[in-house]
Amino acid sequence: MMKFSLRSFVCAVLLALLLPAVGYGQDLIKEQSFGKDDSIVLDFALPVDQVAAAKVSNYTVFEENDPDIRLAIKSADVLQGGSQVVLNFAEPLNTTQAHIVQITNLADDRLTTRVSKSYLAYLFSILISALLINNFVFTKYLGLCVFFGTSKRKSTAKGMGVVFTIVMVVSACMSWFFYQYFLIPYDLNFLQILVFIGLVSLTVQAVDTVLRKVNPVLFNSFGVYLVLVIANCVIIAVPLIVANNNYNIFETIMLSLGAGGGFLLALYLMSSVSERLALAKIPPSFKGLPVAFIVAGQFAMAFLGFSGLQIF
């Protein structure tokens, strides 16, 4: 009984001595996040050696998808008495990608942590980017034929915007499915434009049939512009961006919703101005399409104010 107690006491002492070191190495980093465009903030559970923490050579940072490319660290600022370190980089970081930070000489073992944005925040940033920051009409100048043709009245503009959004979401999801499970596995990437146009035309035909039965007045107000949706550059741009960035299904839905919502916003803004311009005294040489181009240019300049906006 005495031996057992002595052995237990020795084990307890060893554990008491070793556990803090193990915990110190594993749980030293309490929180990690992106700071500004060119920095990463590391919060430690305990104050660390400030001299070692300030040495740039103790840190190795790279993007998770490119482990062979080391990012150049300009400085390491030690704050809050050693409880926080801010890594400043020579160039802006691609915060859409996860980053790996490896730290040496701060604990017994090399510390490794993963820095990334919240995935929900990332999805929301895709939505806001397509809706405002990179609006397909006012910043990329896509879909102008339908934009100028259906933005004379609010009712028509709202209807076309909703139709565009529906077609964009459905066609983008179908394009993502075919691209991931047919084009990539069978090395048919060169057919992506033909496949995407075919899927868009199938979606537009389905919407055409439904609108003809459900709302004939709205269908007649679209005229030839509903057919133009099939080969519209906005509709085709979304699946091409999805394929180029290798988005998953959730990111695809956010991009298509943002692009469709941005087109709806552009149509509604333009139709609101067009209804007022119809009652205004405009020189004959500016009536019609010329003044529409002037107004669209002013909207485009206004949307430049969203450039560089970061929500998260």
* pLDDT score at 8: 56
Give the integer Cα–Cα distance in Å for 168 and 142: 14
What radius of gyration do the chain's Cα atoms show? 28
* pLDDT score at 138: 92
* pLDDT > 80? residue 232: no
DSSP codes of every residue in 232-259: -HHHHHHHHHHHHHT--HHHHHHHHHHH
* pLDDT > 50? residue 20: no
Confidence of residue 148 (pLDDT cuts 50, 70, 90): confident
Give the integer Cα–Cα distance in Å for 19 and 38: 36
* pLDDT score at 157: 85
C-alpha distances out from residue 146 to 152, 225, 295, Å: 11, 6, 16
H or E element that contains 33: strand 29-34
**Cα angle at 177 between 135 and 265, to 5 degrees?**
20
Alpha carbon 32 to its chain centroid, in Å, reads 21
Q: Please compute the mean of the pLDDT values over residues 230-237 and round it to a whole number.
A: 78
* pLDDT > 90? residue 249: yes
Highest mean pLDDT among 136-145, 147-156, 230-239: 136-145
Give the integer Cα–Cα distance in Å for 116 and 83: 20
Question: CATH code for 29-115?
Answer: 2.60.40.1220
What is the token pair recorded at 136?
């397909």
| Mean residue pLDDT across the chain | 84
What is the token pair recorded at 133?
């920051």
Question: For residue 61, which amino acid is it?
Answer: V
Contact 274, 151 (CB under 8 A): yes
Q: Whose structure tokens read 């803004």?
A: 269
* pLDDT score at 286: 86
Q: Each residue of 274-292: pLDDT tens digit?
A: 888 888 888 888 888 889 8
Give the integer Cα–Cα distance in Å for 68 and 26: 25
C-beta atoms surrounding 271 within 10 Å: 21
- 13-27, 28-42, 175-189, 209-223: segment of lowest average pLDDT: 13-27
Alpha carbon 102 to its chain centroid, in Å, reads 26
Give the integer Cα–Cα distance in Å for 171 and 169: 6
Give the integer Cα–Cα distance in Å for 310 and 102: 27
Confidence of residue 257 (pLDDT cuts 50, 70, 90): very high
Q: Whose structure tokens read 């008495």?
A: 81
Question: For residue 15, which amino acid is it?
Answer: L
Question: For residue 73, which amino acid is it?
Answer: I
* pLDDT > 50? residue 16: no
* pLDDT score at 151: 81
* pLDDT score at 154: 86
Domain definitions of the chain by residue range: 29-115, 119-306
Q: Whose structure tokens read 């070793």?
A: 18
